[in-house]
């Protein structure tokens, strides 16, 4: 093999390896699996026994004058709400629209999960505490602007920016994430 040809061969082998490892190390800066940085991956349903047929994609609907960017899951008052991922309770917040709410960040702080219209928190739930997927965080209700005769969980997912501000991320359609998770299990 000529010197030129062998140099070409080395470039063919080495350059893709270098590029791949660069992409990989960037994506795993925080130790998170690469896929989890791009798409939220949940490990539990927020409500036990939830069926895909019970979900309705209302992400792009206009609710109270703005895009909903969430999903509403109708269930009886007091239904336990479970953490969808391992993570940390980032904020417990009472708002006029959301009522009694929880912001939970995943372990790598790539996504934040928002649970709203709760009736009350699980006892002992505090900001900063670590939680496991499936753990009960609170109980479904009508707090905030939910209709009094329509107990529901308002559930939203946001991809956080580099500043990791829990209240300001890019909204992701939770319907697609939930459907993907539930259909995988049936």
Of 26-34, 68-76, 77-85, 169-177, the window that binds Zn ion (rule: CB under 5 A) is 68-76
Tell me the residue nearest to Zn ion as measured from the CB. 154
Residue count, binding to Zn ion (CB under 5 A):
3
H/E stretch holding 93 reads strand 87-95
Q: Among residues 108 and 155, whose Cβ is nearest to Zn ion?
A: 155
Q: Among residues 72 and 106, whose Cβ is nearest to Zn ion?
A: 72
Nearest to 156 by CA among 76, 108, 92, 101: 101
Q: Among residues 58 and 88, whose Cβ is nearest to Zn ion?
A: 58
Q: Is 154 in the site for Zn ion (CB under 5 A)?
A: yes
Residues 45/84, Cβ–Cβ less than 8 Å: yes
SS (H, E, C) 6-63: HHHHHHHHHHHHHHHHHHHHHHCCCCCCHHHHHCCCCCCCCCCCCCHHHCCCCCCCEE
Residue 166 DSSP symbol: T
Smallest gap from residue 98 Cβ to Zn ion (A): 8
Smallest gap from residue 166 Cβ to Zn ion (A): 18
Q: Among residues 84 and 108, whose Cβ is nearest to Zn ion?
A: 84
The pattern of x and - marking residues 4 through 43 that bind Zn ion according to CB under 5 A reads: ----------------------------------------
Of 9-17, 31-39, 67-75, 163-171, the window that binds Zn ion (rule: CB under 5 A) is 67-75
Q: How many other CB atoms sit within 10 Å of the CB of residue 92?
A: 18
Q: Among residues 75 and 154, whose Cβ is nearest to Zn ion?
A: 154
Residue 122 DSSP symbol: P
Question: Which of residues 72, 82, 83, 178 is near Zn ion by CB under 5 A?
Answer: 72
- The angle formed by the CA atoms of residues 54, 47 and 33, to the nearest 5 degrees, is 105
Q: Among residues 110 and 152, whose Cβ is nearest to Zn ion?
A: 152
Q: Radius of gyration (Cα) for the chain, nearest Å?
A: 21
List residues near Zn ion by CB under 5 A.
70, 72, 154
């Amino acid at each position: 093999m000529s010197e030129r040809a062998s140099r070409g061969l080395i470039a063919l082998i080495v350059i893709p390896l270098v590029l791949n490892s660069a992409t990989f190390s960037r994506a795993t800066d925080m130790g998170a699996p690469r896929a989890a940085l791009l798409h939220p991956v949940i490990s539990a349903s927020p409500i036990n026994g939830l069926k895909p047929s019970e979900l309705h994609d209302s992400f792009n609907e206009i609710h109270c004058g703005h895009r909903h960017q969430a999903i509403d899951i109708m269930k009886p008052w007091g239904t336990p709400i479970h953490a969808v991922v391992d993570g940390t309770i980032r904020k417990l917040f009472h708002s006029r629209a959301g009522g009694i709410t929880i912001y939970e960040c995943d372990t790598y702080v790539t996504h934040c999960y928002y649970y709203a219209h709760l009736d009350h928190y699980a006892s002992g739930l505090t900001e900063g505490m670590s939680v496991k997927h499936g753990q009960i965080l609170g109980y479904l209700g009508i707090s905030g602007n939910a209709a009094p005769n329509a107990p529901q969980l308002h559930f939203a997912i946001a991809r956080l920016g580099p500043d990791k501000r829990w209240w300001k991320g890019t909204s992701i359609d939770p319907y697609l994430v939930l459907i993907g998770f539930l259909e995988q299990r049936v």
